[in-house]
Structures are given as structure tokens and as C-alpha cells.
A = this chain, B = another copy of it.
Amino acid sequence: MPASPIRKLVPFADNAKKNGIKVFHLNIGQPDIKTPEIVIDAIKNINLNLIAYSPSQGYESYRNKLAIYYQNNQIDIEANDIMVTTGGSEALSIAIGSIADPDDEIIIPEPFYANYNGFAKQNAVNVVPIHSSIDNNFALPPIAEFEKLITPKTKAILYSNPGNPTGYVYSKDEISQLRDLALKYDIYIIADEVYREFIYGDTTHHSILHEEGMENHAIIIDSVSKRYSMCGARIGTFITKNKELMQVAMKFAQARLSPPTLGQIASEAAIETPKSYFEEVINEYKDRRDTLVAKLKEIEGVKVAEPKGAFYIIAELPVDNTDKFAQWLLEEFNDNNETVMVAPASGFYSTKGQGTRQIRMAYVLKKENLIRSAELLKLAIDQYGKV
């Protein structure tokens, strides 16, 4: 198992805090946004005297409401196309386990969410990376490049859209190209759409299930974690219209018995979250993105991939190695007893040597903290020494 680039520096951060240093956490996508009140109220008003298992597939009442949510997003699925999982994490792990045998391959545009590596490893499946570049904001690599990588062992292409860690939002055209490829080679598209709602500006989200003919070839990974700022509920969804695949996935679901009951009650309540909540949240993130991008661009030698969605930015820094630099930020650097924690981007690449000068930042903090974080980064780069 590879170590998580998001969490592996935690001991150094803990140490810094013990030494009285304030650490701005841009390393992890834990938003500071409040969970909708309707969710907290549902928990407080819980009407249970026995916290029992739910069905392995999740509560039917919840799946019914989820189906309506997707239909409202023009995604044509029914309650039985949905399996409730323990976070998007488990949905991913089950997806990979259900479609691939040990030694099979999954193609993933890199940089990608580092835990994809972990879930593949757990299932003894090999990740085949395909390079996307900071120079075009991590757009989809040319389809011809994908075709070069397809072998009889290729079972799927996996991507997140909007992208974590890239913030890129795939266009309808890019998704359509992937659809054609999947149908041509009879492989799956696993679309991690957990950031569906987090899109800034005019771009709209194009789901893999907006494409026609993908009934047997598409898997959507989803989660309540970011949408309703309730990461700790650990509720996600595995979605497919492929009945046979759902049956295989159900065996994995039965082995772990049931997704969390309390989290499901909270998530079912979350479906009724008023539109105004999202409008506020999206405005807040848009503002944060604009702020952080602008501040980063002011730092000499820093290259930024401008994100259109999610709440991550990849930046290339004028330092020798961001693994060393990120640790140094916690171990050696502070300004007025403050420092910043970022995720070294090498862990988001599976090709060795890639991303070693990049970092991922999550803009999940208030604007003033982001401004201060960028300032700290600037001071730190100067002190660490530019290359």
C-alpha cells in the first residue's frame, strides 16, 4: 500500500502544533462549511431505540430519494441502480473489485486522486497512468494516447470530474470521446462525480450517464461528503445500470454487511437541503478560488492550473522537490508562528518522477486564511531557496 500524500505528513503537522505553530491546512479536502441544519436536526430528532444493520444495498427510502435527485440532474437511474456505500471510498473499492481480477489494468489520467492507487492495490489491480499536463489545465489527453495503452487486461478508464486534484471539468465532447472508446473496446468508464455540484462559471457538469448507450459500461461514484459538507457521515453511492455488475457488487456489499445506519439517516435528510444552501456554498468557493489563484499567480515562478470545479488547485513551485519542501514547511519554517500544510503532488502521479515540483492545495478555508496561506508560501519559497 502506498502512503496517502494527503495524510502522510500529519505527524509533522502534529509536532509543529505541539511547538505552538499554527498550521493552515490546505492539504486535505475537509471543508469548513457547515453541514445543512436540516441534517443536524435529523440526527437530533432520531427516532430509534435500536441501531440496526440496514440492508446491504442501503435503505430503500434513501435510494428512492437519491433516484429523484439524479433524475433532477437529468441522470436517468432508478433506486435499484443505486447501492449505498461507506463513502465514495468504498464505492471505488467495490467498483474496482467487481470489474477486475488480480493483475488486470485500469487506465487513469494522472495526476489523480491518490487513493485510487490504494484501492487498486487492495484489489491487486494495476494502475496504468496516462499523462495530462498542467500546461492545458489537465484537459483530457488525446484519445489516441488512450488507445495505445489498451490491452486485453484493460478493464476500465477511471477519472474524476470535476477533477481532484486538478479542478478540471471535462466537456461534453471529452466525455463523448471516452464513451466511444469504452464501447469500441468493451471496457468500463468509472466516473467519480462526487464534485458534481462544485462548478464555477458557465461550465455545466456532463455525467457519463448523460451519454447514450452506456447502460452496461458506466459506473458512477458519488458521495454526500463534499456536497453537504458531511465527510464524516461516510455515505457514498455506487451506481450502474448494468444488472449483472450490480449483482457482483452486491456480494462485496453483503460481505461488509451494511453501510452506516446513522449516516444514512443524515444523508436522507440532506436530500431536502434548500437550493439557497448550495448557492451560498458555490459563491463562497468561487470567491476562494479566485482569491487563491490570484494570490498564487503573484508569486514569482509559480505556475497555476486554473480550476473550473471541485476545490483543489495544482501549482508548480520553483523549488527542487515538493515532498521535501512540504515537510520542511512543517519542520523548519514559520512566520510569526504560522505555517501552511500542502499535499506534495508526486503522490497524485503514478509515474515516478512526475509532479515532484507540484503541490495540491484545497481551498477549503476562509478567504483571509487563504490569503495568509499564499503569503506564507511566498515567504517560504524565498527562504527555502528557488531553483
Query: Which residues of A pack against B, CB within 8 Å?
Result: 1-4, 6-8, 10, 28, 30, 32-35, 39-40, 43-46, 48-56, 86-87, 89-90, 93, 97, 102, 115, 118-119, 122-124, 229-234, 248, 251-252, 254-263, 266
Contacts and interface: CB of A to CB of B under 8 A. Distances in A.
Given A90-B256, A232-B260, A251 B49 contact: no
A258 B234 contact: yes
Nearest to A89: B256
A266 B262 contact: yes
Contacts of A34: 49-50
Contacts of A90: 86, 256
Contact of A40 (B33, B46, B86): B46
A195 to B, nearest CB: 15
A2 B252 CA distance: 9
Given A43-B46, A260-B263, A262-B43, A255 B4 contact: yes
Contacts of A232: 51-54, 258, 260-262
A260 B257 contact: no
B40 A52 contact: no
- Chain B CB within 10 A, most for which of A30, A45, A55, A262: A262
A260 B231 contact: no
Contact of A4 (B54, B87, B233, B251): B251
Contact of A256 (B40, B87, B124): B87
Contact of A51 (B10, B28, B266): B266
Given A102-B124, A230-B51, A86 B255 contact: no
A34 B51 CA distance: 8
A240 to B, nearest CB: 16
Given A1-B252, A34-B49, A51-B233, A87 B122 contact: no
A49 B35 contact: yes
Contact of A261 (B46, B50, B52, B234): B234
A253 to B, nearest CB: 9
A152 to B, nearest CB: 19
Contacts of A48: 35, 40
Contacts of A259: 234
- Chain B CB within 10 A, most for which of A43, A252, A254: A254
A50 B364 CA distance: 13
Nearest to A251: B1
A40 B48 CA distance: 8
A170 to B, nearest CB: 24
A257 B89 contact: yes
Given A4-B254, A90-B256, A231 B46 contact: no
- Chain B CB within 10 A, most for which of A6, A50, A115: A50
A2 B6 CA distance: 34
B115 A255 contact: yes
Contacts of A39: 51
Contacts of A97: 1, 122
A139 to B, nearest CB: 27
Contacts of A233: 51, 260-262
A357 to B, nearest CB: 24
